[in-house]
């Protein structure tokens, strides 16, 4: 690996990611290096790292993407990460036109620029599954849907609705939707043994049939002011009959618009802001191998 890492940094409603392009800079995404780069005191600082474009041999025409959490673990997908990566692909000249296909561990997603400068991007997040085996959730039979199901914590039971939308999500309606409650319940649910791959935790308040308000605890990242996990919160509300076909999700960092397409796909639209481009010398942090 060379002595420097070229990077770009973007944020969406305060949720920020580094983009490292392997066509421009050599990069070995070992967990220690990813964690060091994401460290806000010792590194650049971010909520995660996007590595791409990579080859996607089984998906001609798609751009491969690996997504890493700030703790160094790898994520299947990220709605915010997909929007950021789509803007980067067009800005860097990898993609042409207004739409592109991105392949992650969570599958294929189509992203579309809604304005020419890439400051507003829509991503097709796919079709959610509420089946326990798909999430995965071991508390009930794998073929049953996890809808308003009890989850037992040391402090008492909570009622959850869980789903997979490229990665696992757990939605609760706790009454108090606050950062403090997200930080209290989030770690306990994220690492609950009945979620063997851990889980994103979403605290939801239904404002009306077109708006919900959420707080977020993300697997591998902790409390975050905004996230594409908002799609999962909206999907759970839709499945429970609480909202209509278009929903605005209100988060501390801002709002995202969610549309439920007739075929079951979830379309998420929101802003993407470029922050900076630069280079990081790897000697800044020892013992990264």
Q: pLDDT (tens digit, 9 = 90+) per residue, 38-50? A: 999 889 999 999 9
For the CA atoms of 257, 259, 264, 268, the dihedral, rounded to the nearest 10 degrees, stands at -30
What tens digit of pLDDT does each residue of 229-276 get?
Answer: 999 999 999 999 999 999 999 999 999 999 999 889 999 999 999 999
Q: Residue 188: phi, psi to the nearest 5? A: -70, -40
What tens digit of pLDDT does each residue of 8-43 get?
Answer: 999 999 999 999 999 999 999 999 999 999 999 889
Would you say 138 and 196 are in contact if contact means Cβ atoms under 8 Å apart? yes
Q: Residue 120: phi, psi to the nearest 5? A: -140, 120
| The pLDDT of residue 42 | 84
Distance in angstroms (rounded) separating the CA atoms of residues 132 and 261: 23
Give the right CATH number for 4-122+272-284 from 3.30.70.20, 3.40.50.1000, 1.10.1040.10, 3.10.310.10: 3.10.310.10
Q: Is the per-residue pLDDT at 285 higher than 70? A: no
Q: How confident is the model at residue 287 (pLDDT cuts 50, 70, 90)?
A: low
Do the domains at 4-122+272-284 and 132-264 have one common CATH topology? yes
Domain borders along the chain are 4-122+272-284, 132-264
What tens digit of pLDDT does each residue of 188-207 get?
Answer: 999 999 999 999 999 999 99
Distance in angstroms (rounded) separating the CA atoms of residues 219 and 222: 6
What tens digit of pLDDT does each residue of 112-127 get?
Answer: 999 999 999 999 999 9
Distance in angstroms (rounded) separating the CA atoms of residues 203 and 217: 8
| The pLDDT of residue 206 | 98
Q: What is the sign, positive or negative, of the torsion defined by CA atoms of 221, 226, 228, 232?
A: positive
CA angle 224, 21, 265 (to 5 degrees): 55
Q: How confident is the model at residue 286 (pLDDT cuts 50, 70, 90)?
A: low
Q: Which fold has domain 132-264?
A: Diaminopimelate Epimerase; Chain A, domain 1 (3.10.310)
Q: How confident is the model at residue 1 (pLDDT cuts 50, 70, 90)?
A: very low
Which of 158-162's residues contact partners 24+ apart within 8 Å by CB, and which partners? 158/185, 158/189, 160/189, 161/130, 161/236, 161/239, 161/240, 162/130, 162/132, 162/135, 162/137, 162/195, 162/199
Single pTM value for the model: 0.91
Q: Is the per-residue pLDDT at 96 higher than 50? A: yes
Q: Which residue's entry shows tokens 């935790």?
A: 201
Write out the two tokens for 212.
């919900």
């Amino acid at each position: 690996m060379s002595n420097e890492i070229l990077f770009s940094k973007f944020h969406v409603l305060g949720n920020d990611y580094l983009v490292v392009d392997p066509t421009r800079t050599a990069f070995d995404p070992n967990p220690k290096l990813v964690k060091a780069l994401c460290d806000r005191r010792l590194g650049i600082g971010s909520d995660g790292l996007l590595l791409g474009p990579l080859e996607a041999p089984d998906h001609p025409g798609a751009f491969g993407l690996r997504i890493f959490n700030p703790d160094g673990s790898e994520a299947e997908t990220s709605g915010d990460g997909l929007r950021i990566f789509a803007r980067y692909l067009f800005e860097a000249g990898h993609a042409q036109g207004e739409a592109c296909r991105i392949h992650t561990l969570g599958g294929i997603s189509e992203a579309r620029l809604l304005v020419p400068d890439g400051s507003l991007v829509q991503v097709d997040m796919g079709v959610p599954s509420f089946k326990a085996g798909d999430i995965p959730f071991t508390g009930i039979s794998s073929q049953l849907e996890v809808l308003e199901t009890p989850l037992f914590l040391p402090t008492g039971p909570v009622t959850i609705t869980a789903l997979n939308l490229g990665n696992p999500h757990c939605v609760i309606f706790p009454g108090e939707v606050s950062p403090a409650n997200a930080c209290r319940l989030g770690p306990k649910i994220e690492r609950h043994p009945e979620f063997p791959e851990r889980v994103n935790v979403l605290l939801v308040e239904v404002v009306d049939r077109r708006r919900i308000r959420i707080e977020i605890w993300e697997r591998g990242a902790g409390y975050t002011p905004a996230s594409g996990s908002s799609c999962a919160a909206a999907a759970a509300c839709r499945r429970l009959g609480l909202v209509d076909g278009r929903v605005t999700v209100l988060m501390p960092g801002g709002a995202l618009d969610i549309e439920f397409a007739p075929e079951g796909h979830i379309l998420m639209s929101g802003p993407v802001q470029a922050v900076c481009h630069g280079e990081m010398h790897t000697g800044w942090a020892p013992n990264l191998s």
